[in-house]
Structure formats: structure tokens, C-alpha cells
Amino acid sequence: MAFPLIGVVIASALLIWYLLQGRKKKDSKLGNLKEIPGPRGLPLIGNILQLGTFPNDQFTKWSKEYGPIYKVHLGNQMVVIVSDPKLSKEIFTNDPIYTGRPYFEGFDMYLDHPGLGMFASEGEYWEVHRRFLLRQLRDFGFGKSSMEALIMEEVNELLERFTKEEGKPIGQMRETLRLAIVNALWTILSSQRFNHDDPKLSQLTDNIIKSFDITFSGGSLLIFLPWLRHIIPEYSGYNAMRKEFDGFKDFLEGTINNHKKEFKEENLKDFIDVYLAEMNKATDEKSPFYGTKAERQLAATMLDLFLAGSDSSATTLSWAIIYLCKNPEVQKKLQKEIEDITGNDRPVSVSDRPNMPYTLSVIDEVLRHSSIVPDGAQHRAMADGEFQGYRIPKDAWIQPNLFFIHRDPKIWGDADNFRPERFLSQDGKKYIKSENLQPFQVGRRVCVGETLARDTIFLYLTNIFQKFDVKFDPKGKEPSLETILGFFRAPEPYEVVMKKRLPSK
């Protein structure tokens, strides 16, 4: 007897859902615009079951089938996928309504204060804080020689370690690089530097990244079906992620409290200090820098910088090492350019960059081929909009298929090959920047760390390969170019052997 009743309930729910969808379209002032094409999905769950373990594979198949702009439904969320670099630039640059960010339920550091930090905030609150962050990061060193000195301090420590381990297999490359890389950023944020062997920072960083990797494995179910966290909190990885968020929150709040105790208006030594000074000036409750919310915004922003700033460049560099081991002729050419410019009797500096077209082309080819953020970061339409004659309803998500854009043979020709020369002029002498390369996404919300990431990747790559020839461990397994499950598109673990190229001084 129960079955027919359940059947009637489900059928009624589906009918109501269907009618509501039709009604929403009619009510919208965009009713006369074209509908974006896309694959059919099931009621209520949409296309979610079609995504599989590596959602980008499916998005890429659909990009081939439906063209540069199509839509899918994930649960009841409409997602617009843009698979063309010109359209991606246009939509993320021109109209500010597309600068919103989806609300990812359960992913906030402060569950009772959602939408804080640089990544999750939007509207005027985001704009004011982003402008402040960019100005301060620039003043504290992004793109300056003071930042280069901080990065080089870490590079040198790493080179010493590689020297000690010469000839032995070195694994855990991504983790090792992650810790070194986060240190330079952490110094300008908090004036603290951690020893590479300090277990506290490495544990905090590794744990939160591992828990994100676990949570984002298997098609990021928690994003599209957030209620799952109540039903399978362990299995979905939600509990593990929350534990890491709490650990990080204690660490960041402790650091901010120490800064408050030692605060001296006349000596603002790092980002936390200048933020606290701004808070002290804010007496109006409506100010974005006022009170507890602002202090939490500071902690959430630091977490974002930590997460976005360490593993992204470390993952890109660990891909770079793989490509250079798989393509020894590229490694040789890179080393030759380094020697031509520095004579190999001094380290490579950011000021050498304009004279190193081949190196720049290698870095761009690594960013293109690895596409560590294959689906970019989703934006949210903050109002009904029109794009290319299509209707984009309020709250739709917009996501670029960066992997497809970076591997489209119509743009790149032999797109699957690793070939740095594609970023060089015909005579091989000039580096040519391509607008089709968008690893940091584009437009109004473009990655705030692009300058730092490019400097970091350049300094690590050139200074490691100046000192060492690098090969896969001949006794180990050579990694494929397949990606492992996780937050970033990361390579399989691998081991390399370093051999010194230069006489010791």
C-alpha cells in the first residue's frame, strides 16, 4: 500500500518542480532571450550523475558537443560553462553582475558568519577588501625586490637540502615545495617564518590540503548536495574538513591576538598590523573594517591566501619538474639560457626575466598543459543578465572550462604535446604572451596572487635547474601525465634524483 502513495508524492513533487521551472522563465524579464543549449538531465538531480569521478572530463566532452557556451544543472543549480577564451574574457571582465561567488554551504571557516574572506565574499564588501589587500600586498613586496629576497631565502634553503640529498631519490616534491613557498607569503602577512623542518606549519598546511583533496575527490558531491554532510558526515569527508578548519582558525586567531597585544601604530610591520590599524580607524558600524566581522574577515582572508598561495604554485612546479624530466632536451635548453644570462656564477633574478624568452615560454607551457584549476573558479550572476543573446538568470553559476581552452586544437594545434616553442616568435628569439592562456582566470576577479605565483615559479625553476640536472629515480616508476583526484589537478607522486652541475664554491 505504501508504494502507490510514495509514487503519487514523487510524481506531484516532480510536477510542481516542472511547473515552477516554467513559471520562473516566464516571470523573468529575460524571457525573450535565447535559451543556452546543454545536455538533458533528470528532474531534481539534473546532470549530476553524468559527471563521474573527474567532472572536467565530462565538461570537456560537452564542450566539444555543445560549443563555446552551454549549461548543465547540478542538483537544482544551473551552471553555465564557457569554453572559449574570448568569451571567458568578455563575461568575466565587462559586466560586474558576473563577479558574484556561489555560496558553498559548509565550506566557511566561520559557519555562523558565511561569505567572509577574499574568495567567498562578493559585492561592495569584496571590492573594498580586495582593493585593500592588493594595495597592501604590493606595498609589502609583491613584485618588488624585498619579496624576491624572501623567496630566495626559501629557494636557497631548498637548494642546500637538495645538495645534501644529491644522488638519492627525493620524493614528496609537492609537499616540500608547498612549505617553502608558503613561508615567503606568511612572512609578509605575519612577520613569521617557519623552519622547513618545523612540524607545526607543515602539519597545518598538509592536513588542510589533504582534507580538501579528500572532500573534492569523487566529483565534489558536498558542493552540489550539501545536505549530504548531515547524512554521511564521515564518509563525505565533511568531518575531517571541519576539524582542519577549526585547527587553522585557532592558529590564525592566535596569531592575530598576538599582533593585537604587540600592536604599535608607528611601526606597522606586516599585513595583519595594517589591517588592525584600519580596524582601529573604523568607528562607524557600517564600515567594512568594523568590529568582529572585520576581524573574522582578516582571519578568513589569511586562510584563503594560505590555501590558494601555497599548493597552487607547488603543484605547478611539481608538474614543471615532471615535464622537464620527460623532455630532457627542454631541460638542456632551459639550462643553456640560464647559463647564457648569468654565466652560472650568480643566482637567477627576476630582473633577468625580460632576457629569458625560452624560460618564460617553458613556464607558460607548464601552466597551459597542467591547467591545475581545470574548471576555474565559479562565479555567480548577481542579477538577471544577457550574454551573447542568451539569458543568464540571477544565481546561475558561470564557470570557464580552462582545461578545454588550454587544450583546444583549434587554438593550439598539437595541443596535447608539451612544446614551449608555441609561445615564441618564429625565429625563437621573442616570448609572445597569449591571451588564450588563462590559468589565473581573467577579468575583475582574476587571481590576486598571479604576480607572486609567476615570480615564485620563475625563481624556483631557474635556480633549481641552474644547480642541478634532474632525472626520475631510475629505480622508481616514471609518473604518467594523468592527474590524481583532488582539489587541484595534481600529478601522481614521483621520485627524482638530483645531480650537481656546478662546482661547489
Q: Is 399 helix (H, G, I), strand (E, B) or coil?
A: strand
Alpha carbons 486 and 14: distance in angstroms, whole number: 34
Q: Nearer Cβ to ligand HEM, position 162 or 460?
A: 460
Asked if residue 490 binds ligand HEM (CB under 6 A), the reply is no
Classify 328 in phi/psi space as left (phi over 0), alpha (psi -120 to 50) or beta. alpha
Q: Which of 80, 321, 447, 470 binds ligand HEM (CB under 6 A)?
A: 447
Among 372, 459, 464, 496, binds ligand HEM (CB under 6 A): 372
**Number of other residues whose CB lies within 10 A of the CB of residue 500:** 14
| Burial call 67-91: b when 16+ CB within 10 Å, e when fewer | ebbbbbbbbebbbbbbbbbebbbbb
CB-nearer residue toward ligand HEM: 424 or 452: 452
Q: Does 463 bind ligand HEM (CB under 6 A)?
A: no
Confirm or reject binding of residue 180 to ligand HEM (CB under 6 A).
no
DSSP 113-160: S-S-HHHH--HHHHHHHHHHHHHHHHHHTTTSHHHHHHHHHHHHHHHH
Site pattern 40..69 for ligand HEM (x: CB under 6 A):
------------------------------
Three-class DSSP category at 46: strand
Tell me the three cell numbers of residue 52: 563521474
Nearer to ligand HEM among residue 73 and residue 406 (C-beta): 406
Q: Is 452 in the site for ligand HEM (CB under 6 A)?
A: yes
The total number of residues written for the chain in this structure? 505
- φ/ψ region of 253 (left if φ > 0, alpha if ψ in -120 to 50, else beta) reads alpha
Per rule CB under 6 A, count of chain residues that contact ligand HEM: 26
* Residue 297 lies near ligand HEM (rule: CB under 6 A): no
Name which of 165, 258, 246 is nearest 211 in CA terms: 246
Among residues 247, 252, 222, the alpha carbon closest in space to that of 116 is found at 252
Decide: is 268 part of the binding site for ligand HEM (CB under 6 A). no
Segment contacting ligand HEM by CB under 6 A, of 69-77, 147-155, 306-314, 417-425: 306-314
Nearest approach, Cβ of residue 127 and ligand HEM (Å) = 9
Q: Which of 38, 85, 106, 449 binds ligand HEM (CB under 6 A)?
A: 449
Query: Residue 439 interacts with ligand HEM (CB under 6 A)?
Result: yes
Binding residue for ligand HEM, selected from 84, 148, 304, 364, defined by CB under 6 A: 304
- Give CA–CA dist 248/65, Å, rounded: 43
Pick from 118, 150, 392, 396 the residue near ligand HEM by CB under 6 A: 118
State the nearest-atom distance from the C-beta of 484 to ligand HEM, in Å. Answer: 17
- Of 54, 322, 89, 306, the C-alpha closest to 179 is 306
374 scored as a contact of ligand HEM (CB under 6 A): no
Does 448 engage in binding with ligand HEM (CB under 6 A)? yes
User: Which spans of this chain sit near ligand HEM (rule: CB under 6 A)?
Assistant: 92, 118-119, 130, 185, 304-305, 308-309, 312-313, 316, 372-373, 376-377, 439-441, 445-449, 452-453
